[in-house]
Amino acid sequence: METRVDGGRARRNTKIAEIGDYNPENDTVETSDLYSWDAHTDEYTKNSGSASLNRIKNMQGWSDETLQMELEKRKVVLAYLSTNGINSYSDVAAVIQAFIQNEADILEYISNGEVRDHLDDLRQLGNVDVEGKSKAEETITRPDPDTETLAEMESVLEESDIMEGA
């Protein structure tokens, strides 16, 4: 939606929804609104918890604390990649696939600032099928995070207890 914020035109999503199950009888996809945009405050408010995260938590037998720790690990990985300019498809995919296989190694590389040093090796892992840079990949422009987002990601990295055990 297009709206006015601080006297200027701005585009806003009116909600952020989670896609749920497909219902073949009705040919519909269930959705759940996780966040809604408040036009008066120009902020998003949280509506409900994630059914997908609850399902994962239950399937894994995790407590709420374990789920939060697992989410924190993933925030750390994404924050590190973004703050260090590691944003090509092949690099991000290699790190994520390697994290799935052996999160302790990736968290240690992050803790030591060594992810970039290991990218070639990560792309070559046996069951990680990530090709090197293609011509199409080189043409994609990826903006740097704005100052506020960068500060938030740096805060995630500084305040995280996740890497203490790495």
What digits encode the pLDDT tens for the residues 13-43? 889 999 988 999 999 998 989 999 888 888 8
Q: Amino acid identity, residue 101?
A: Q
Q: Give the other-Cβ count within 10 Å of 118's Cβ.
A: 16
User: pLDDT value at position 134?
Assistant: 65
The pLDDT, as a whole number, for residue 165 is 54
Kindly report the pTM of this predicted structure.
0.75
* 149 alpha-carbon distance from chain centroid: 13
Helix (H), strand (E) at residue 19: strand 15-23
Q: State pLDDT tens for residues 59-112.
A: 999 999 999 999 999 999 999 999 999 998 889 999 999 999 999 999 999 999
Can you give the pLDDT at residue 72? Answer: 95
Candidates 5, 17, 94; CA nearest to 52 is: 17
pLDDT at 45: 92
